Each structure stands twice: as C-alpha cells, then as structure tokens.
C-alpha cells in the first residue's frame, strides 16, 4: 500500500443505511438494467421510477447518456473505457444505495465480468440485474438516433452488437422481453419483483 493509501481510513457514519431506510419506509437497492442500445432500458427505468415515486419512494436513475456528459465525460468507447465507465457507475450506485435510495442504472454494460464486478460491490441480494431482451432487428428499427445505421456504415467504431460484443446475462434476477411486451407490462414485472423482494410494499 502506498503512503497516501495507508493514510486513508473508511469513516463509519452514525446515520446508517438501515436508519435511512426506516425513515424512508422502504429498502434501498441497485436495479441494473442491461441490454442492447434501443432495447428500452432507460425508458423502463424511468417508468419504474414513476411508479416508485407514486408510492413515496426515494429514487434516482443513472442513465447512460447523462453519465457520459459528466462523471464519464473523459472516457471513450473502447473496451477499457467501457469497463471504467461501468466501474464508476457501480461505485456511484453503491453510494446512493447506502444513502437509502432505490437506484436504477440503465446501461448497455456489455461485458459480463463488469456486471459481476458491480454485483460483488453490493451486499448479497442488493444488486438486481434486469435483462431487457430485444432482438437486434427490433433495436435497429427503434433507433431514432440512427446510431446503428452509422455503425454499420463504419462511421461509429466499437458499437455494441455491430463490431463490439454484447454478453447476454447468464443468471439475471429478471428477464423482461422489452422487444415483445408493452411498457406497462414490463413495469408491472419489475414492480412485482421489487415487491417480492420486500424492497417496496404492495400499493393498497
């Protein structure tokens, strides 16, 4: 350990995560939405946040494009930078979870190892991986930004599912067929899981 590292000590706060959760009236967690670009990750995450907000929950969505404007504005899209992007997001999500917030992360996060590293940061059961499953054909049809077309034309390099791989989750907590079912149905599936996990209480 470096000299500077040896001088760094984790400070234990007197206001704990448990006390924050009790005040909030719900548990906190990290809900990680993964899938291809245009699979509906951000749309689903924000729709779930709307439902949670109606229940009085403290929430926040970490969105891919928004993070690239600030926290990861100095990163590119090569493999190493993608991994660093996900590392930063995972550490941020963990801090927000400790603050008692139901934190939703909506990112392609194409590599299994990176998603598993994010999972290992969290206490057991607090990382909920949701695979937004939609075929490449459907995602390309939905692509209002025209990014897939530009990637196929060679104008964008390292684009997931075109010239960079996407590794499908092996054991996600939930698979939502965002390419086939409605947004309302997708939200209902996520909310059911959160209720079953005891993160939120069933609305009365």
Report phi then psi at 114, rounded to 5: -70, -40
Q: Which residues are catalytic?
A: 109
Distance, CA of 55 to CA of 26 (rounded, Å): 10
Tell how many helices (H) and how many strands (E) occur in the chain.
9, 5
Distance, CA of 175 to CA of 60 (rounded, Å): 21
Distance, CA of 91 to CA of 93 (rounded, Å): 5
Say which residue the tokens 């926040």 belong to: 60
Residue 101 in contact with residue 59, Cβ under 8 Å?
A: yes
Q: Please provide the distance, in angstroms rounded to a whole number, between the alpha carbons at the two ends of the chain.
A: 53
Cα separations in angstroms, 196 against 93, 108, 124, 203: 22, 26, 16, 13
Distance of CA 125 to the CA centre of its chain: 15
């Amino acid at each position: 350990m470096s000299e500077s590292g040896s001088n760094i000590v984790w400070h234990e706060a007197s206001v704990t995560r448990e006390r924050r959760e009790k005040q909030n009236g719900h548990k906190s967690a990290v809900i990680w939405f993964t899938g291809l670009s245009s699979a509906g990750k951000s749309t689903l995450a924000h729709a779930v946040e709307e439902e949670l907000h109606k229940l009085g929950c403290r929430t926040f969505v970490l969105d891919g494009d928004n993070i690239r404007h600030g926290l990861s504005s100095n990163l590119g899209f090569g493999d190493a930078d993608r991994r660093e992007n996900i590392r930063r997001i995972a550490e941020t999500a963990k801090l927000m979870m400790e603050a008692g917030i139901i934190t939703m992360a909506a990112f392609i996060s194409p590599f299994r190892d990176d998603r598993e590293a994010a999972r290992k940061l969290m206490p057991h059961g607090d990382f909920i991986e949701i695979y937004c499953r939609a075929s490449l054909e459907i995602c390309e049809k939905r692509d209002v930004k025209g990014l897939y077309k530009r990637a196929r034309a060679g104008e964008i390099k390292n684009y997931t599912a075109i010239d960079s791989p996407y590794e499908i989750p092996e054991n996600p907590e939930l698979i939502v067929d965002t390419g086939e079912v409605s947004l309302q149905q997708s939200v209902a599936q996520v909310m059911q899981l959160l209720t079953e996990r005891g993160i939120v209480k069933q609305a009365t």
